[in-house]
Amino acid sequence: MKIGILTYHDTTNYGAVLQEYALAKTLNEYGCDCEVIQYRCEAVENREKLFNFKNMSVKKIIKFLVLGSSNRRKYNEFKKFTRDNIRESQAIYTKGNIKESAFIYDKFIVGSDQVWNTQLSGNDMTFFLDFCKDSNKKYSYAASFGVSALDGATESNIKELLENFKSITVRENEGSEIIRNLINKEVPVVLDPTFLVDKNEWKQLARTARYKMDKKYILLYLIQDKKSTLEYARKLAEKMSCEIVYINISPYRESGMNNVRDASPYEFLELLKNAQFIITGSYHGVVLSINMNVNFVFEVKSATDNYNSRINTVIKLFNLEHRRINHNTFEYGKIDYEEINRIIEREREKSINILRSFINE
């Protein structure tokens, strides 16, 4: 059976490439002929372009000039990781020719990541498999809207498309609620694909390179820089007698930290694996910290933010609300991963059984 995975492809986002790797790997282990479809979404392509002065603000041009060489190296490292580990379609598809793929694949699985976040995709309905007319071919695994509620325009655009899926699974509780309200259907919440890969496999995939650290360190991995979080990291590192490794995507270097701008996915896993402690505001920072059994704290935007559903779901599943960063304390005990690992095994089995049902239907 030939299965095509449709997800955000060819990006330099650690979570995106690692979930892509994990889903394809898992499906192939269960006897599928599975590959990731090389689909070029215009909105994603524009966001990932290394050089695009035409639509750049002055601020972005300055950022490009400062980070240009680092961004090029990072892009090349991601391409190498993909070539080494992920089977891709030979054909490259766009909105103009994606219909041709319907004659090649027996089934499509869209997911994971925020593939149903229409703001990120530029309202590209390809991620709702609009090009495939055979509903028996259409599945989603851990698809994410990335938000807890949709606007009316988005709902009207996707309602009929979702009704034509053979089977739907989502990544967040709020995503399940959105589906229920839209098409009156109960759909399961499954694990992010990175959980389908055992922590020992992730650790084996990690590779030491330029970022070998001889001293203990805290890893700081944020989606948005916050001065309060940076200052908190400095104080916590001082208390723990650790250095700070900061995965920094800004053009400004943070003093007193090891600023890492262009780590490969291999190096990223190595930094996670060996950290004494992780401070993160990233969904996949949280997920990989849990799966790799590393002590961490997390920070989200305001409590009412529409984009917090993805982190809140996984934190609730593993009863880790107490790991929300508290700027008034620097006392955090070690996480007891014995019970958490039991939950991972239980939920991993459920999620894999669902994937296997996709294959066998």
Position 59 confidence tier, pLDDT thresholds 50, 70, 90: low
In the CATH hierarchy, which fold is given to the domain comprising 2-196+346-360?
Rossmann fold (3.40.50)
Spatial CA neighbour of 141 closest among 111, 165, 161: 111
Mean pLDDT estimate for the chain: 91
Q: Whole-model pTM? A: 0.92
Residue pair 191/142 in contact (Cβ under 8 Å)? The answer is yes
CATH entry 3.40.50 includes domain 199-343: yes
37 has pLDDT over 80: yes
Low-confidence winner among 45-54, 116-125, 185-194, 273-282 (lowest mean pLDDT): 45-54
Q: Is the dihedral of CA 151, 157, 163, 166 positive or negative?
A: negative
Position 250 confidence tier, pLDDT thresholds 50, 70, 90: confident
Cα–Cα distance, 99 to 164 (Å, whole number): 16
| Radius of gyration of the chain from its Cα atoms, rounded to whole angstroms | 20
CA atoms within 13 A on the CB side of 329: 9
As a whole number, mean pLDDT of residues 126-150 equals 95
Q: What is the pLDDT of residue 65?
A: 59
3-state percent breakdown (helix, strand, coil) of the chain, nearest 5: 50, 15, 40
51 has pLDDT over 70: no
Q: pLDDT per residue over 274-310, tens digit each?
A: 999 999 999 999 999 999 999 999 998 655 455 678 8
As a whole number, mean pLDDT of residues 318-335 equals 90
Cα–Cα distance, 35 to 231 (Å, whole number): 43
Q: Is the dihedral of CA 150, 224, 274, 338 positive or negative?
A: negative
Place of tokens 């499954």: 190
Residue pair 342/187 in contact (Cβ under 8 Å)? The answer is no
As a whole number, mean pLDDT of residues 75-87 equals 95
Cα–Cα distance, 16 to 24 (Å, whole number): 12
User: Residue 148: helix, strand or coil by DSSP?
Assistant: coil
Q: What is the pLDDT of residue 10?
A: 87
Residue pair 284/15 in contact (Cβ under 8 Å)? The answer is yes
Q: pLDDT per residue over 219-249, tens digit each?
A: 999 987 788 999 999 999 999 999 999 999 8
Position 57 confidence tier, pLDDT thresholds 50, 70, 90: low
58 has pLDDT over 60: no
Q: pLDDT per residue over 140-198, tens digit each?
A: 999 999 888 888 878 988 999 999 999 999 999 999 999 999 999 999 999 999 999 99
Q: What is the pLDDT of residue 153?
A: 79
Q: What's the distance, Cα to Cα, between the start and end of the chain in Å? A: 11
Domain with CATH 3.40.50 in the chain: 2-196+346-360, 199-343
Q: Is the dihedral of CA 208, 249, 226, 149 positive or negative?
A: negative
Q: pLDDT per residue over 211-221, tens digit each?
A: 667 789 999 99
